[in-house]
Amino acid sequence: MTISAAASLNSAFTSLAEQFEAEHPDIEIKVNFGGSGALAEQIAAGAPVDAFASASTATMDQISNFVESPKTFARNQLIVIAPAANTGQVKDYQSIQKVSTVMCAESAPCGAAAQKFLSEAGMAANIVSLEPDVKSVVKKVITDEADAGVVYVTDANAAGTAVVAFPIPPEVNVTTDYQIALIKDSSAQSDAQEFLDFLLGPTGVDVLQSEGFMSP
């Protein structure tokens, strides 16, 4: 069974896949991580995928003809990160107006959310690079290719001590809903449905919350 999942789900879905396989030794899961927009395009082009987990409802809507009954399973918010050494001397989320900043391209949900946040805050970031997915943003920050990045809270948590994080106030922050759906022409629908039920059950909720995701 193949699942295409948003890059920001990497840690959570890797853990969930391992736990699911342990409980279902007859089912093997391959998870393909990437930007939600790019994954949706692959599905529309006929990629052999059985389930799709998107970091936004808008991306799921774009391929509504290819999926069945999307379900919201988690929520996420944005945060600003800087490398652990903080050589750019980032002081707060507003520092991205001056220091070199990376964020996702707008075609990815993390980029669309970042642009909405900038609009809500009435800010213009000093953007030096737009990345295809949130993991690429984190990597550029950790490797000191930028002074700051706009990522999801869960990605800041996953990066641990490699970054320092600066919260974005609730009044200008953006919340994104994560959805999962079965692919209509999947050849492994029953297996995919079992994983979906597992994700929506107690184990899935526990893993997602431990990664910093909010309940839908």
Q: Which domains occur in the chain, in start order?
A: 2-75+177-210 (3.40.190.10), 76-167 (3.40.190.10)
The pTM of the full predicted model, rounded to 2 decimals, is: 0.88
How many residues belong to the chain? 216
- Give the tens place of pLDDT for each residue, 9-25: 999 999 999 999 999 99
Residues (pLDDT < 50) of the chain are: none
141-154 pLDDT, tens digit each: 999 999 999 999 99
